[in-house]
Structure 1
Amino acid sequence: MKSKYQCIAIANIRGGPISPKIKGVVFIKDVPGGAWVYVNMQGLPSYQPTKEDIAPIGPFGFHIHEFGNCNIGESDNPFKDAGGHWNPTDQPHGNHAGDFPVLFSNNGRAIMAFFTNKFKVRDVIGKSIIIHENLDDYTTQPSGNAGRRMACGIIKPYYNCI
């Protein structure tokens, strides 16, 4: 018998050495035709525009990555063990299943919800979510030139995902 309750997953996001104040949560819930994603972050750096040859900080690239590994590794280039963007159908960047809308810092907070038809919750359990330092251009291959990885969280079952 099919349960009337939908699978829900959670990723507790924590900042690394580049932005240690970031913390928050991402819930992913099965809905008809795809998944609903809810994001609540705090501690994001304030936006800093481009200065001469220095890239901006924010808005922030936001993606599902291949592996559920938030090992910090190199402090100046953390979370490499999460792998690349999750892209199960081998699409060009901008259309990866793991490509999410960017996060905007509003006095350090970002709250948003969106729908995606690119996966169901069970497809992403065990993957990681990464917040990048820069805006994702959704064009540069293979990862949108979104800069260093600031925060990471592993997607885990939360409710009714047995």
Structure 2
Amino acid sequence: MKMIFKLPLAAMALLAVVSCKDFKKGYEDGKAAAEKEAEDAVEEVKQEVMAQSIKFTMEPKSDSNVKGEVTFTEKNGTVKMVANLSGLTEGEHAIHIHQTADCSSADGKSTGGHWNPTNEPHGKWGADEGFHKGDIGNFVAAADGNAIKEFETDQWCIGCDDENKNIVGKAVIVHQGIDDFTSQPSGAAGARVSCTGIIQ
């Protein structure tokens, strides 16, 4: 009788030990998964924080009233430019990155020519015939003189070591006219009516 009584107790004790181990393992697995999820969330926030953003004020040139702001944001290897402008004449205008962050001259020509680190001919962005790294292109101003130009590329960076991509130390120029994408070396876009230097 004693043996019959002890066997179930031993089995129950063994079952309790196994169940406890399973519970502990499940708890540890769940804890590890939760910690991994928390680490991933922190890393995602870090990446968001690491996105660089710089903003500059556009100032009028060539006796114009064209002003505004231009923002560059770099994230995951891509730079996005957003230019908010006012004081423009209605219609199309060109916008380019020029080689020198110097807006000191009244006509904006202190910025030099288009930024062209790879020595390509002037052209439309992405053209097989070639284009400057500063050849952003044209945009349209509304009847009230306001305009927004957005542009995004992986061919730029903010403050990296690649001089063929680094936009820091360059300038943004808005022109009175349109870029015809063929005239050399600048697209015959006319007077420089607004300028900002990209200095980090």
Give the percent of matched residue pairs that are identical in Structure 1 and Structure 2.
Answer: 34
Shift >6 Å, 4+ stretches: none
Task: Name the structure 2 match of 1:29.
Answer: 73
Which of 104, 114, 138 is equivalent to 1:85? 114
Task: State the AA in 2 paired with 1:140.
Answer: S
Q: Is the 8 A contact 1:85 1:99 kept in 2?
A: yes
Tell me, in whole angstroms, the C-alpha distance in 2 between the residues paired with 1:80 and 1:97: 18
Tell me, in whole angstroms, the C-alpha distance in 1 between the residues paired with 2:122 and 2:145: 27
Gaps of 5+ in 2: 1-42, 124-130, 160-165
Tell me, in whole angstroms, the C-alpha distance in 1 between the residues paired with 2:139 and 2:79: 18
Map Cα deviations across residues 89-144 of structure 1 (whole Å, 9 max, x no partner).
Answer: 11111211111131211121111322122211221112111011110011111111
Tell me, in whole angstroms, the C-alpha distance in 2 between the residues paired with 1:17 and 1:138: 22
Q: Tell me how many residue pairs correspond in the alignment.
A: 140
Q: Is the 8 A contact 1:10 1:156 kept in 2?
A: no
Aligned pairs for 1:7-156 (under 5 A) are 7-19=52-64, 21-47=65-91, 59-73=92-106, 78-94=107-123, 95-106=131-142, 107-122=144-159, 123-156=166-199
Tell me, in whole angstroms, the C-alpha distance in 1 between the residues paired with 2:151 and 2:175: 19
TM-score computed with the length of structure 1 as normaliser: 0.79
* Cα deviation, residue 22, structure 1: 1.2
Task: Name the structure 1 match of 2:39.
Answer: none
Tell me, in whole angstroms, the C-alpha distance in 2 between the residues paired with 1:85 and 1:38: 19
Alpha-carbon distance change, 98 to 134 in structure 1, aligned in 2, over 3 angstroms:
same
Map Cα deviations across residues 33-92 of structure 1 (whole Å, 9 max, x no partner).
Answer: 431111111111223xxxxxxxxxxx111001000110124xxxx111100000111111
Task: State the AA in 2 paired with 1:133.
Answer: Q
Secondary structure of the equivalent of 1:145?
Answer: coil
More helix, by proportion: 2
Larger radius of gyration: 2
Q: Which has the higher contact order (CA 8 A, sep 6+)?
A: 1
* Cα deviation, residue 156, structure 1: 2.8
Task: Name the structure 1 match of 2:14.
Answer: none
Gaps of 5+ in 1: 48-58, 158-162
Q: Is the 8 A contact 1:22 1:43 kept in 2?
A: yes
Give the alignment's Cα RMSD to 1 decimal. 1.7
